[in-house]
Amino acid sequence: MTENNVKTSTGLEQNTAAVLAYVFLWVGGLVFFLLEKENKYVRFHAMQSIVVFGAYTVAAIILSVIPVIGWIFSVLLGALAFILWIVCIVKASQGQMFKLPIAGDIAEKNSKPVTENKPPDTTPKP
């Protein structure tokens, strides 16, 4: 669990930003991943949204061009994605670092704050 009232660099509370990263599917995830540079909680949920709902979007497009069987699987995948979307929104709003299988691991590896990715400053100080 994380604190609910922690402000992010976007000016939103971190739970609100994490929820919005899911509400707009992978597009919201991309927006918050690019805007939020410091808050690991928001970056994690944004990256998880990109991975999960980006993969869903690609799969839905591929399935939509396959007659009958593809359409059936597309409807089933859509129902599963909708349930997963609701669960992710609820967990993010509750401040939980809810990690989905596979996507959660990818998100965790790629959601470090930007300052953690920078090499240390080795310039001599006067």
pLDDT at 114: 81
pLDDT at 2: 59
On the question of pLDDT at 117 being above 90, the answer is no
Place of tokens 């006067």: 126
Mean pLDDT, the chain, integer: 91
- Give 6's pLDDT tier (boundaries 50, 70, 90): confident
Q: Kindly report the number of other CB atoms within 10 A of residue 117's CB atom.
A: 8
Place of tokens 């100080």: 125
- Give 116's pLDDT tier (boundaries 50, 70, 90): low
Q: What is the pLDDT of residues 62-79, one digit of tens each?
A: 999 999 999 999 999 999
3-state SS, residue 50: helix
Query: What does pTM read for this prediction?
Result: 0.83
Considering only residues 124 and 22, tell me which one the structure prediction assigns the higher pLDDT: 22
d(CA 33, CA 116) in angstroms, rounded, equals 15
Closest Cα partner for 80 from 63, 66, 94, 96? Answer: 63
Considering only residues 2 and 31, tell me which one the structure prediction assigns the higher pLDDT: 31
Q: What is the pLDDT of residues 78-110, one digit of tens each?
A: 999 999 999 999 999 999 999 999 999 999 999
pLDDT at 121: 64
Which residue type does 55 have?
A
